[in-house]
Amino acid sequence: MNSLKIESVWLNVYLGGTWTSRSDHHLYIDNVVIARKYIGPMPK
């Protein structure tokens, strides 16, 4: 769908608390869908 012309998507992730983490954390996000209308849940 070339008509959307999306260059990037920004996701903010909050790891609770007011402290600074002592180590790096990694988050892997999969099955992200960008659509013009609701398409329903992903099948398992």
- How far apart (Å, rounded) are the C-alpha atoms in residues 15 and 6? 27
CB within 8 Å of 5: residues ≥ 6 apart: none
pTM: 0.40
CB within 8 Å of 13: residues ≥ 6 apart: 27
CB contact at 8 A, 36 and 6: no
Per residue in 1-44, pLDDT (tens digit) is 567 677 888 888 877 788 888 888 888 988 888 777 888 887 77
Domain residue extents for the chain? 1-44
- How far apart (Å, rounded) are the C-alpha atoms in residues 4 and 36? 9
Q: Write down the pLDDT at residue 2.
A: 64
Residue at 25: amino acid letter: H
